[in-house]
Amino acid sequence: MVQTLEEAERILLDPAKKADYDRKLQTTPEPTRQILDEDIGPAADLIAEGWRLLIGGQVADALYVATKATEFQGNNSEAWALLAQAKFRWGDIDDSIYEYRRAIKLKPNGDSYYFDLGSVYESVDKYKEAVENFEKAVRIKPQETMYRAAIGAVYVKLSMNKEAIDILEQCVREAPDNSSYQWALAIAYSERAYEGWTYVPAGRNIEQGYYATKKAQVAEAEAYVNKAAALRFEDPELSQHLAQVRTNITSMYARQFTGNKIAMVISGLIGVGALFGAMSGQAFLLFHVLWCGGGAFLYYKASLTPQYIINRRVLAGKGGSASMSLMADATNPEYGCLIAAGLFVMTAVFIPIMAAWNYMKNYSSND
């Protein structure tokens, strides 16, 4: 620059050189002004370069290029969208939202702008605003699966699992190779599995967690877990969670003896005594042995209670032991046949045998 200024000084101070310079200036034609188009001019080049930098992780450089693009053409919605995305990746959430709104104002039917703005809101847990913008993107371009899947993913975060499943199942059908959609659907299935169960918060005598109280609840949870396990996704943590849910479901079917243990002991002692009596030649006591064995067995089987019924009693404050209150579950088809058989043994077998035993002892004895 110094050399240029010194040369200019020599020309302008020398009358002969200055006259020659003025003559050349008058005969040189004025340069042609190039009219720049919004889509093919330097602004478009800057936008393309900005996205290249963003993809490469050069956020600071992309931010600088995007700013230059908006300065060069302030009415270019793509430039503002680029700047908004650069601000978002830089961590300036409020500025990013503001720039996306400027892009939308310039191009109200820009479906991708609404989608990206919704993603910014979702990143800061503003789910209501996120869904509103995703829905606008869907209204503009309803055939875009990604926009609807984004709504389903937010519904999962809001525990709106039924609504999420309805959306994500359709998305998986449309794009069966998209593992992200299947992953989100698997989460919705796993969370939906427990929705019908009773949640016990911390602070009670019962351990905190979800408890099934009906067989239908367990069956429904099992169906959802099976659906989740059939999906394709790469998330070891989710796979481990599904395995834990399946273990919990299996435990709900496990049976525990909740009958009266004293009654079992007495039945056993009577059976042993009757067996010794039969061995001593009193053959009719063999029936007593059969009754004791059959009755005790039926009582034991009838007292093997599934965990979900135990949960129901515990949560109702009735304790975990069924004892003779198992009769309260006589309406349950699972136990109806056992209880009916037990009642039959008590009325049709026990009473006649005891009557025969008393008759022989009181009326047939020669003593």
Which tokens is 314 given?
């515990």
Instruction: Say how far apart CA 114 and CA 138 lie, in whole Å.
Output: 9
CA distance 310 to 45: 70
Asked if residue 87 has pLDDT above 50, the reply is yes
Residues forming a β-bridge with 200: 209
Q: Cα–Cα distances in Å, from 149 out to 71, 170, 187, 231?
A: 35, 9, 13, 16
Decide: helix, strand or coil at residue 57: coil
Superfamily of 42-196 according to CATH: Tetratricopeptide repeat domain (1.25.40.10)
Q: What is the pTM of this model?
A: 0.68
> In the chain, what are the domain boundaries?
42-196, 256-360
pLDDT at 275: 54
Specify the higher pLDDT residue, 281 or 43: 43
Q: How confident is residue 329, by pLDDT bands cut at 50, 70 and 90?
A: very low
Q: From CA 72, how far away is CA 46, in angstroms rounded?
A: 9
Write out pLDDT tens, residues 234-276.
999 999 999 999 999 999 998 888 776 666 666 665 555 555 5
CA atoms within 13 A on the CB side of 310: 18
Q: What are 292-315's pLDDT values in tens digits?
A: 566 666 667 777 888 988 888 888
Please tell me whether residue 209 adopts helix, strand or coil conformation: strand
Which is higher by pLDDT, 86 or 276?
86
pLDDT, one tens digit per residue, over 149-178 is 999 999 999 999 999 999 999 999 999 999
> Residue 345 and residue 267: Cα distance in Å, rounded?
14
Helical H runs in the chain?
2-13, 15-27, 42-55, 59-72, 77-90, 93-106, 111-123, 127-140, 145-157, 161-174, 179-192, 215-229, 236-253, 261-279, 285-302, 307-315, 333-344, 351-363
Cβ atoms of 242 and 228 closer than 8 Å: yes
Burial label, 326 (beta-carbon count in 10 A; 0-12, 13-18, 19+): buried
Residue 354's nearest CA partner among 299, 290, 285, 294 is 285
Report CA-CA distances (Å) from 103 to 52, 70, 73, 112, 214. Answer: 20, 11, 12, 10, 54
Per residue in 119-128, pLDDT (tens digit) is: 999 999 999 9
Give the pLDDT score at 189: 96
Q: Which two tokens stand for residue 123?
A: 């990143």
Give the pLDDT of residue 366: 44
Which residue from 54, 109, 113, 108 is spatially nearest to 78, judged by alpha carbons? 113
Tell whether the model's pLDDT for residue 196 goes beyond 80.
Answer: yes
